[in-house]
Amino acid sequence: MSDDTGNAGRIPTGADPAETGVAVQPVDTGALPVHAESAPDGKGKPVLELRDVSTHYGLVAVLRNVNVQIYAGEMVCLLGGNASGKTTTLKTILGYVKPTEGDVVLDGETVTGLPTAEVVSKGISMVPENRRLFSNMTVSENLDLGAYQRRDKAKIAEDRERVLDTFPRIRERLKQKAGTLSGGEQQMVAMGRALMADPKVLLMDEPSMGLAPILVEQVFEIIKQIRALGRTIFVVEQNANMALSIADRGYVIQTGQVVLADTAQNLLDNPLMREAYLGEL
């Protein structure tokens, strides 16, 4: 998982000088209202929710009163530049860092402050940035690690076959060491490993990071396949156009605050959004 204080990005950072030590001109989002969230028709209660979450590193506020709702079967994206708070949002959900205010709620249960292993056991799985596979282990062994907390052997075997059907290329490479795969193949293994946990919510941190453009398109096609399986996905991404093209809804975060929340199509159609965050004039 990357640090939110990186310097390169594909959309404006809006970074806080107190957080990065570098003065960056914030994007003017005064005309970009935060739309009130409402449950999509028939979705019921959120499966994952952040309620007024604030997170600090020491005295520095990195997240400020963040509210996010994700419903079962949705794909929701979190967009923003480097140092905007995207990675800290994921760390807070997973329990790597504890919020100073607010709560993280998973399937109606508050998981705020729980150890990461316990949060994972309750139904959160992660596809980390840069894949982070065990390079000296085989593809098969990496997949098995995704199910290490499970005991339902028959269901594990069933899920393994489903993963291999979704990623036929890695079926051909099960005995190959993960470190010898291409970047695109490694991303498939990372996604397959996360799915082997049978999560309620699948988190993805910059799935297109470091991949050639043709592989970026391939990865997002794979994410669409995973979504078609009925999985609930929350993806952090800087490639706003690609993420919004397959998502249901999106949030834009800047200097630790959600400055815009809407359906993916409305975000794509919003001229101010396109100018500020998609690099169009």
Structure confidence at residue 38 (pLDDT): 42
pLDDT in tens, 187-209: 888 888 999 999 999 999 888 87
More confident residue, 268 or 38: 268
Are the C-beta atoms of residues 216 and 242 closer than 8 Å to each other? yes
Name the one residue in this structure whose structure tokens are 């969230």: 37
User: Which pLDDT score is estimated for 236?
Assistant: 92
- d(CA 47, CA 199) in angstroms, rounded, equals 11
What integer pLDDT is reported at residue 208 of this predicted model? Answer: 80
Question: Residue 166: pLDDT band by 50, 70, 90 thresholds?
Answer: confident
**Any domain includes 280:** yes
Q: What is the pTM of this model?
A: 0.80
Q: Tell me: pLDDT of 6 over 80.
A: no
The reply to whether 59 falls in a domain is yes
Q: Within a domain: residue 112?
A: yes
Q: What percent of the chain has pLDDT over 70?
A: 81
DSSP symbols for the chain: ---TT-S--SS-----HHHHSS--PPP--TTS--PPP-PPTT--S-SEEEEEEEEEETTEEEEEEEEEEE-TT-EEEEE--TTSSHHHHHHHHHTSS--SEEEEEETTEE-TT--HHHHHHTTEEEE-TT----TTSBHHHHHHHHTTT---HHHHHHHHHHHHHH-HHHHTTTTSBGGGS-HHHHHHHHHHHHHTT--SEEEEE-TTTT--HHHHHHHHHHHHHHHHTT--EEEEES-HHHHHHH-SEEEEEETTEEEEEEEHHHHHH-HHHHHHHS---
CA 182 – CA 170 distance, rounded (Å) = 11
User: Is position 73 within any domain?
Assistant: yes
Residue 80 tokens read as 């923003």
**Would strands 75-79 and 233-237 be described as parallel, antiparallel, or unpaired?**
parallel
Return the bridge partners of 89, or none: none
Token digits of residue 166:
């979704």
What integer pLDDT is reported at residue 37 of this predicted model?
A: 44
Supply φ then ψ for residue 30, to 5 degrees. Answer: -60, -30
pLDDT of residue 41: 57
Lowest mean pLDDT among 2-16, 38-52, 169-183, 256-270: 2-16
Residue 247 lies in a domain: yes
Kindly state whether residue 272 falls inside one of the protein's structural domains: yes
- Residue 40's pLDDT is 58
Give residue 57's pLDDT.
Answer: 92
pLDDT at 113: 87
Other beta carbons within 10 Å of 11: 22
Overall domain count for the chain: 1
pLDDT digits (tens, 9 = 90+) for 110-164: 999 899 999 999 999 988 876 678 778 999 998 998 888 878 889 899 999 988 9
Q: Is the pLDDT of residue 16 over 50?
A: no
Cα(88)–Cα(53) distance, integer angstroms: 11
Asked if the structure places residue 3 within a domain, the reply is yes
pLDDT of residue 8: 33
Span 23-41, pLDDT tens digits: 333 334 333 344 334 455 5
The packing angle between helices 153-166 and 213-228, to 10°, is: 140
Is 103's pLDDT higher than 90?
A: yes
Structure confidence by residue, pLDDT tens digits, 79-98: 988 788 999 999 999 999 99
239 has a pLDDT exceeding 50: yes
User: In this structure, what token pair is assigned to residue 41?
Assistant: 């028709």
With beta carbons less than 8 A apart as the criterion, state whether 254 and 28 touch.
no
CATH number at residue 104: 3.40.50.300
Give the Cα separation of 218 and 176 in Å (integer): 21
What is the residue-averaged pLDDT of the chain?
81
Residue 34 falls inside a structural domain: no
Residue 65's pLDDT band (boundaries 50, 70, 90)? Answer: very high
Instruction: Identify the pLDDT of residue 35.
Output: 39
Nearest CA to 111 out of 128, 127, 98 is that of: 98
CA-to-CA distance for 196 and 209, rounded, in angstroms? 22
With a pLDDT cut of 90, the percent of the chain lying above it is 41
Q: Rounded to 5 degrees, what are φ and ψ at 141? A: -65, -40
State which residues form the domain around 15.
1-23+43-123+243-281
